Amino acid sequence: MTPFGEAVRELRRRKGVSQKEMAAAIGVSPAYLSALEHGKRGAPSFDFLQRVAGYFNVIWDEADELFRIAHLSDPKVVLDTSGLPPGHTAFANRLSMEIRGLSAETIRALEDVLEKATFPDKDRG
């Protein structure tokens, strides 16, 4: 399951609707919605995201978060390391080979490292 799939499932749970009901309401097949929730489809389109946000009547902040999560939910990631140092390419390839074996704790630690590398002054308040 992708982060987006998890978010949609939670929205459906809160509203008390099935995949079939939601799919009919937003104009997609239940099979597509199921595949999207389970990470068997790529990231959803902007149009689809707008229909989901409208269906659930989500407020702007929650819609922005839903769109952000969708952007991070493509299960078939492609990394272009052309033009980067060899170590970057090696790291990307190693990560692709090892990711299935990493624990949730290790993933959180790697996310923390990326967050600190991207926003080094974040912890300084």
Note whether residue 79 is domain-resident: no
Same domain membership, residue 66 and residue 92: no
Q: Number of C-alpha atoms within 13 angstroms, CB side, residue 120? A: 1
* Percentage, residues of the chain above pLDDT 90: 59
Closest CA to 51 of 22, 74, 29: 22
Residue 34 lies in a domain: yes
Cβ atoms < 10 Å from Cβ of 33: 24
CA atoms of 91 and 99, how far apart (whole Å) = 11
Listed residue (73, 72, 54) closest to 11, CA to CA? 54
pLDDT at site 11:
92
Tokens of 66: 């839903």
If asked whether residues 19 and 65 sit together in one domain, one would say: yes
Report pLDDT for 15: 92
Query: What confidence tier does 79 reach under pLDDT thresholds 50, 70, 90?
Result: confident
Q: Residue 26: which CATH number?
A: 1.10.260.40
